[in-house]
């Protein structure tokens, strides 16, 4: 399974998982079957609120799942429609969250847990 983890900096598997999908500078994409990973930038990072294009953010890299601290409803919907599962990360590294997803201890995001924006008193579930 290929799993994308948004990150602030590139420290490979030791990168901390970033709190927001759409504004993450980078993604560490792990192939959990092969035990390998690659890093890609987020070309969709500078979008207006509500206009995240998650497949563009992933630089067109095919993934089966995303593990992130927070995500907007539109991005979650688009990922779901593309057949990509989205899981709620815990604070910590890619490696720590990968271990949790492998042991089925990370819950999937639901629409009521999404970010409502950070302007005008919006809130997030993370």
* Contacts for 118-124: CB closer than 8 Å, 24+ residues apart: 119/49, 124/19, 124/20, 124/70
Do 28 and 8 form a contact (C-beta atoms < 8 A)? no
pLDDT averaged over consecutive 10-residue blocks of the chain (126 residues)?
96 95 92 96 71 78 94 88 95 97 93 56 44
What is the maximum span of the chain, computed from C-alpha positions, in angstroms? Answer: 44
Q: Does domain 2-113 have CATH number 3.30.420.130?
A: yes
Q: What is the pTM of this model?
A: 0.86
Domain boundaries, the chain: 2-113
Half-sphere exposure of 78 (CA within 13 A, CB side): 16
């Amino acid at each position: 399974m290929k799993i994308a983890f948004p990150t602030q900096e590139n420290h490979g598997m030791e990168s901390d998982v970033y709190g927001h999908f759409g504004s993450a500078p980078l993604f560490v994409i792990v192939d959990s079957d092969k035990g390998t990973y690659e890093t890609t930038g987020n070309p969709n990072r500078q979008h207006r609120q509500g206009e995240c294009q998650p497949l563009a953010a992933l630089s067109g890299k095919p993934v089966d799942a995303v593990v992130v601290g927070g995500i907007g409803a539109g991005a979650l919907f688009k990922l779901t429609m593309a057949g990509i599962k989205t899981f709620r990360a815990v604070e910590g590294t890619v490696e720590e969250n990968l271990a949790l997803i492998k042991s089925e201890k990370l819950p999937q995001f639901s629409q009521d847990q999404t970010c409502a924006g950070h302007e005008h008193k919006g809130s997030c579930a993370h």
